[in-house]
Structure 1
Amino acid sequence: MTGRIILITGAGSGLGAELARQVAASGDYPILAGRSRDKLETVSATIPQPHQLVELDVTNDGITRVLQDLIKTNGRIDVLINNAGLGYFQPLQNLSLQQITEMMDVNYLGIVRMTRLLLPQMLAQQSGHIINIASAAGYVATAKGTGYAASKHAVIGFTHALQEELRRQPIHVSLVNPGPIRTPFFKRADPSGEYVERLKGWILEPEQVAKQVVRLIQQPKREVFIPRAIRWGYIAMLLFPRLYHRLVAPFVNRK
């Protein structure tokens, strides 16, 4: 391999699929990981450059063997992009405990599982980059986001702590906090389509976000907000909480 070997979870659609396309186009070698072989093959047909597919469920302990085989086959993993995620946007009383558990299992524990298994290999090779896709919801929680926001809060805390643990190691750890992205994610999170319709002027396209993540691979940073205005919105909420909850919260709560 002449380029970096980049493992992308949740690559069967949406942001993960677009990341795979852009990573391949940039000259690196993407490994597309996801639960559905059919979806992975559909994405694969859109990537003319060399790449690899692997069936992988981040909630399944069987990923240990899958990752061992990947390392044996490819020799190394240079970059791990923890992108797999799901959400259910419902008031707490309408959410089942199973749905809340599922969000935490995929969004947070999935990242923990993947990172714990690949980190020793990165430490052994004295190089690597872990990129965790969180969400603006991890900083600015909104109505109907009790389960989803909590899972993304956990990702943010986990990533910040890992950055401190690896401060003296030659391994980069990055956190990406995008706003809502126009992907199939919303077919489950917002079946009515009301949320996407109400915020259609603010919805990000997968290409926008993927472009910034690819840039992050090439020029590592600790944290990126997409768009940057999210960072300032979070700071404003901390500095002027009453003003934020009176003027801004009614807008962002429109799910």
Structure 2
Amino acid sequence: MTMSFAGRFSGRSAVITGGASGIGLAVAQRIVEEGGRVCVWDRDPTQIEQAKAVIADLHGVTVDVADPVAVEQAARRTIDALGAVDILVTSAAITGPNMTTWDYPVEDWRRVIDININGVFFCNKALVPHMLERNYGRIVNIASIAGKEGNPNASAYSTSKAAVIGLTKSLGKELAKTKVTVNCVTPAAVRTAIFQQMSQQHIDFMLSKIPMARFGEVEEVAALISWIASEECSFTTAAVFDVSGGRATY
């Protein structure tokens, strides 16, 4: 059941990377339903159009978050379109292949790192100065329980998500005396289109690690992210929020 927080994001504008599908789309839907405006950044223009068909008045920018120049351009376009960006949710990510570290193709490794951590860095870097100028901001970087535990046969993904946690903690402390908070969320596996990038063996492994014996729902993760992205979450920064069905142990 989704609770209603009508007006919680009234007057606020958000950027959600990878926001045309999965967790990002669920967050976009909640923010719009609760009075906010959203621009999704996604590398697939077709998915952006499909998202616009689902969410009224949704804005979209086609961008590869692994390209720092494209990210800066997207930031300027979005600020021009929305007037401001108060919230950033970094949801864009890929899993990479499931194989041992010593067999991992170098190009696949680089692509996972480029999107999953460099992309988060580029997006944070592009929008923090704007948030500082406005004396307000909420950044929610989406990491993964894999970043805490290190999933076997997913070294690039696990490494990138551990790096997202580290970046979040560093940036959150740098901004701690400002009105800009930076936190991250570490979900266990949530059944989205990203499962298509994984082997069935790896999917079964992830499920076996969750005490609740089920995968998370995008709406459950979106509910947590929406609170962290709201004005209510004002005394928490550089923090890590688990949504793992009991899997997280620290």
CA 124–228 in structure 1, closer or farther in 2 if over 3 Å, else same:
farther
Unaligned runs of 5+ in 1: 235-255
Give the letter for the 1:203 counterpart: F
Distance in 2 (alpha carbons) for counterparts of 1:230 and 1:175: 17
Unaligned runs of 5+ in 2: 1-8
The Cα shift of 1:47 comes to 1.3
The Cα shift of 1:24 comes to 1.2
Distance in 2 (alpha carbons) for counterparts of 1:185 and 1:102: 15
Deviations 1:93-136 (A, max 9, x none): 33200111111111100011011111111111111111100011
Distance in 2 (alpha carbons) for counterparts of 1:41 and 1:79: 22
Indicate which of 197, 215, 218 corresponds to 1:203: 215
Is 1:121 aligned with 2:116?
no
Indicate which of 34, 39, 48 corresponds to 1:40: 48
Give the letter for the 2:64 counterpart: D
Give the letter for the 1:97 counterpart: V
- What are the equivalent positions in structure 2 for 1:32-111 lying under 5 Å apart? 32-48=40-56, 50-60=57-67, 61-88=69-96, 89-111=98-120
Give the letter for the 2:214 counterpart: W
Indicate which of 217, 221, 225 corresponds to 2:242: 225
The Cα shift of 1:228 comes to 6.6
Q: Does the CA contact (< 8 Å) of 1:196 and 1:203 recur in 2?
A: no
**Secondary structure, counterpart of 1:139 in structure 2:** helix
Distance in 1 (alpha carbons) for counterparts of 2:74 and 2:154: 32
**Secondary structure, counterpart of 2:139 in structure 1:** strand
**Secondary structure, counterpart of 1:18 in structure 2:** helix
**Equivalent residue for 2:163?**
154
* More helix as a share of residues: 1
TM superposition score normalised by structure 1: 0.85
**Equivalent residue for 1:183?**
192
The Cα shift of 1:2 comes to 4.3
Distance in 2 (alpha carbons) for counterparts of 1:203 and 1:2: 32
Distance in 2 (alpha carbons) for counterparts of 1:228 and 1:158: 25
Moved over 4 A (4+): none
Larger Rg: 1
CA 177–53 in structure 1, closer or farther in 2 if over 3 Å, else same:
same
Deviations 1:70-96 (A, max 9, x none): 112222100000110111222123320
TM superposition score normalised by structure 2: 0.86
The Cα shift of 1:68 comes to 1.1
CA 78–97 in structure 1, closer or farther in 2 if over 3 Å, else same:
same
**Secondary structure, counterpart of 2:14 in structure 1:** strand
Q: Does the CA contact (< 8 Å) of 1:3 and 1:28 recur in 2?
A: yes
Q: Does the CA contact (< 8 Å) of 2:188 and 2:245 recur in 1?
A: no
The Cα shift of 1:205 comes to 1.3
> Which shifted more, 133-142 or 196-205?
196-205
Q: Does the CA contact (< 8 Å) of 2:141 and 2:183 recur in 1?
A: yes
Distance in 2 (alpha carbons) for counterparts of 1:118 and 1:165: 15
Alignment root-mean-square deviation, CA: 1.7
Q: Identity across aligned pairs (percent)? A: 27
